[in-house]
Amino acid sequence: MQEVRVITPATVANVVCGFDCLGFALSEPFDEMLVRRTAEPGIRITHNDEFNLTTDPRQNMAGVVAAAMLERADVDFGVEIEITKHIMPGSGIGSSSASAVGTAVGMNRLLDDRFSQLELVDLALEGETLASGSRHADNVAPGVYGGFTLVRSVDPVDIVGLEHPPLWATIIHPQVEVKTAEARSILPAQVPLKTAIRQWSNVGSLVAGLAAGDYGLISRSMEDLIVEPVRRSLIPHLDEIKSASMAAGSLGGGISGSGPSMFMLSETEVTARSVEKAMHSVYRQTGIKYKTYVSAVCRDGARVLDAA
Amino acid sequence: MQEVRVITPATVANVVCGFDCLGFALSEPFDEMLVRRTAEPGIRITHNDEFNLTTDPRQNMAGVVAAAMLERADVDFGVEIEITKHIMPGSGIGSSSASAVGTAVGMNRLLDDRFSQLELVDLALEGETLASGSRHADNVAPGVYGGFTLVRSVDPVDIVGLEHPPLWATIIHPQVEVKTAEARSILPAQVPLKTAIRQWSNVGSLVAGLAAGDYGLISRSMEDLIVEPVRRSLIPHLDEIKSASMAAGSLGGGISGSGPSMFMLSETEVTARSVEKAMHSVYRQTGIKYKTYVSAVCRDGARVLDAA
């Protein structure tokens, strides 16, 4: 194997009540990556996009992941990684983890698939940790596994692929900056036990609703009493987006990752597109630049398109 | 319908990480109740057991539930309720809620099954609230629904019947007193957000493990970082019971309800009986009087044995 082309999807983390544990993969937007084996050792990174991300392999997540994999695999070749990023950095739909995940999946094919999915999450986390300053797998896990995932633990890594019925996501990305570090710093250090109980009852119910394909239960369980109340102020027009989307038939939703993107889930594509219209009608008047996406919750994670 | 005989099972609430939301029904021990329609209005309660519980229908949970149902159904007859209790009051395996649930299910048959399971939980909660001073449905819900249940909300009541694979419970009831009020008062009012996240990740994983029949995941998810650490001191020899049971092949377990009973879950009856032996070997030497039970997690809740 000399060259592998990978596409790696955007992901939604912090799914409402499931802060820091629940995430899912989209089918679009996605990044494209080309991972090429080279005879000379070392890692070279190039970008075919407008985002001016660093190409220093020690600073770029793809580089960090690739280095970790070459070391663990104990091989003596090098790699060139060409990244064509479509997932806008800082959008809150897993742009940074997409680079880490795509590299892990592409490199794994070059290395004859020697690493398991769980090991790939662990490897991609080395890159993600560089980006976010802390070890969170809730974007990386759906990027590798696809579908809906639950991160039971990051140390050791324990990932649960969840059963789920067909679901459609509508995403709106208002082009304002929300720094992950700031979004983290406003979280409370302590929460009332009563509120925590209500939150974990909702997490359990959401997982049960997904497993049973019970859309009503999924909808009722999408309630976040802990994170959304404090982060709401960072996300422009969150409440209006939610209420307009619910009126258009959405099951529920909230902040994607640490924002600024918001997501709403729906049972069908038709509803997801009505939700998109409802989002337009809220944002059109705000003067804020924004993008929207409609995508199935995708059962595939990052995948090799072709390898030569 | 003039007379209904009901058996109503013991239940385990506060299933490890699922404090205040997860519970399951046992097949034994169980209470027996006879609910008889009488021409003269009013409620009469008799006990065929040694526990000296009150027969005052305004103080007895069965009486409170029966009164609520007669009123909601707007009928003019009365009832006699004969209770033969086998579930020891104060044992932590849902003795009080069994009286409430048995009454609700028996009365419902007398009333031509006019109430849904969800309404029966709501009605039984009126009795349970009398006993515990607060509204908790995690014993009542498995008593009505059977199997494993999750209480998403008590106001309004929202109960989720969970899919689960075959599971066996081993219970040990050390005959010491743990007052529910005291067990509640030592709970922290606030918990660290990090700990709460870990707890809800475990709740989600446990529900996913039950749905998928993944015993390994069920086992890994049975971790309680919030309640067990503070209640451990109230439950004699909890740590020894847990480690001896795990060594005997149990999947995990903890305090049943607010104690003093402890429960351990196993994949098979054979293992559950080995766990019982391991529990004996811990408790035999303590001088504390105790009882053990081995029971399947029972897919039935309270049920009508015969009606005439």
Q: What percent of chain B has pLDDT over 90?
A: 85
pLDDT band at B146 (very low <50, low <70, confident <90, very high): very high
Residues of A in contact with B135 (CB under 8 A): none
Residues of A in contact with B156 (CB under 8 A): none
Per-residue pLDDT band at A293 (split at 50, 70, 90): very high
For residues A241 and A57, the model is more confident at A241
- Interval A236-262 mean pLDDT: 97
Task: For chain B, say whether A230 makes contact (Cβ under 8 Å).
Answer: no
Nearest-neighbour CA in chain A from B143: distance (Å): 18
The DSSP-derived string for B202-213 is HHHHHHHHHHHT
Residues of A in contact with B158 (CB under 8 A): 205, 220
Taking CA–CA distances from B21, the nearest residue in chain A reads A201
pLDDT at B131 over 70: no
Q: Note the pLDDT of residue A126.
A: 83
Q: Which of B184, B201, B227 to mutate to test the interface with A (most CBs of A within 10 A)?
A: B201
Architecture of domain A168-296: 2-Layer Sandwich (3.30)
Chain B positions in Cβ-Cβ contact with residue A152 (cut-off 8 Å): 201-202, 204-205, 217, 220-221
The predicted structure's pLDDT at residue B30: 96
Question: Can you give the residue ranges of every domain in chain B?
Answer: 3-162+298-307, 168-296
8 A C-beta contact, residue A62 and residue A97: no
Contact across the interface for A212 and B211, Cβ inside 8 Å: yes
Contact B199 A200 (CB under 8 A): yes
Q: How far apart are CA B202 and CA B199, in angstroms?
A: 5
Instruction: Give the three-state DSSP class for B148.
Output: strand
Residue B7 CA to residue B86 CA, distance in Å, equals 11
Chain A segment 202-221 residues within 8 A of B by beta carbon are 202-209, 211-212, 217, 220-221
pLDDT at B100 over 80: yes
Q: Which 8-state DSSP code applies to residue B297?
A: B
Tokens of A207: 């997982």
* Average pLDDT, integer, range B255-280: 97
Minimal Cβ distance to B197: which of A19, A162, A221: A19
Contact between residue B138 and residue B21 where contact means Cβ atoms under 8 Å apart? yes
pLDDT, tens only, A159-180: 999 999 999 999 999 999 987 7
The partner residue sitting opposite A160, judged by closest CB among B22, B188, B208, is B208
- Which residues of chain A does B150 touch, with a Cβ-Cβ cutoff of 8 Å? 201, 204-205, 208
Rounded Cα distance, A107 and A2, in Å: 10
Q: Are B264 and B167 in contact (CB under 8 A)?
A: no
Instruction: Quote the pLDDT of residue B132.
Output: 67
B18–A205 C-beta distance less than 8 A: no
CATH (residue range A3-162+298-307): 3.30.230.10
Residue B192 forms contact with A (CB below 8 Å)? yes
Contact B20 A209 (CB under 8 A): no
pLDDT at A184: 86
| A215-241: average pLDDT | 97
Task: Calculate mean pLDDT across residues A9-17.
Answer: 97
What ipTM is given for this predicted complex?
Answer: 0.95
For residue B156, the chain A residue with the least C-alpha distance is: A220
pLDDT per residue as tens digits for the range B164-220:
999 999 999 999 998 777 888 999 999 999 999 999 999 999 999 999 999 999 999
Q: What is the predicted pLDDT for the residue at A132? A: 67
| Alpha carbons A132 and A100: distance in angstroms, whole number | 12
Contact assessment for residue B51 and residue B61, using Cβ atoms and an 8 Å cutoff:
no
Task: Decide if B150 and A226 are in contact by the 8 Å CB cutoff.
Answer: no
Say whether residue B163 is in contact with chain A using an 8 A CB cutoff.
Answer: yes
Give per-residue burial for B261-297: e unless 16+ CB within 10 Å, then b. bbbbbbbeeebbbbbbebbeebbeeeeeebebbbbbb
pLDDT of residue B186: 94
Asked if B153 and A207 come within 8 Å (Cβ–Cβ), the reply is no
Contact A158 B205 (CB under 8 A): yes
